[in-house]
Amino acid sequence: MRITRFYETEDGGSRFEDLEVAFPNTRDDAFGHTLRLTSSVPGSEAVLVELPDGLDQGWHNAPQRQLVLVLEGQVEVETTDREVRQWGPGGLFAAEDVGGQGHLTRVTAGPARVLFVQVPDDYAVADWSR
């Protein structure tokens, strides 16, 4: 499974990076199926947020490292290198640019409802399969 993260670069900008998430752990369910799992995110907090239609935020940082799952609507993010990506329902990305110039966020079809899951500072989203 692929997800995208954006992060602060050494020069204070932001960039996207595509990650391949592995499912290295297994668990058998009560029906004889083998389920494949990632590692869990320790100590995480989650909140549902509704972003209004037409939201257009200027340059800002993620308030903390977080995974973002778009449930409804469409969210667009632009990094300092002017690359733009969009996510609709089921889209998952990691916002990790807590410093530097940050990124732009827009709701291009909304309202957008998203689930934010806080990621601890010492958790490497790129190593989700650890």
Tell me the pLDDT band of 102, cut-offs 50, 70 and 90.
very high
* 49: β partners: 114
Predicted local confidence at residue 66, as pLDDT:
94
Please give the C-alpha separations between residue 126 and each of 7, 29, 56, 103, 122, in angstroms, as whole numbers.
11, 28, 28, 19, 12
Write down the CATH superfamily of domain 2-124. Answer: Jelly Rolls (2.60.120.10)
Q: Is the pLDDT of residue 129 over 70?
A: no
- Nearest of 13, 11, 16, 8 to residue 77 by alpha carbon: 16
What DSSP element (H or E) covers 129? none
Residue 120 is encoded by which pair of tokens?
């601890």
Maximum alpha-carbon separation in the chain: 52
* Average pLDDT score over residue span 7-11: 95
Predicted local confidence at residue 14, as pLDDT:
97
Predicted local confidence at residue 11, as pLDDT:
96
Q: Is the pLDDT of residue 71 over 70?
A: yes
Predicted local confidence at residue 37, as pLDDT:
86
- Note the pLDDT tens digit of each residue in 11-45: 999 999 999 888 888 999 999 999 998 878 887 79
Tell me the pLDDT band of 7, cut-offs 50, 70 and 90.
very high
Predicted local confidence at residue 98, as pLDDT:
95
Residue 103 is encoded by which pair of tokens?
């990124």
Instruction: Please answer whether residues 114 and 51 qualify as being in contact, where contact means their C-beta atoms are separated by less than 8 angstroms.
Output: yes
Instruction: Please answer whether residues 67 and 116 qualify as being in contact, where contact means their C-beta atoms are separated by less than 8 angstroms.
Output: yes
- Nearest of 49, 52, 50, 53 to residue 117 by alpha carbon: 49
Average model confidence (pLDDT) across the chain: 92
What pTM does this model have? 0.86
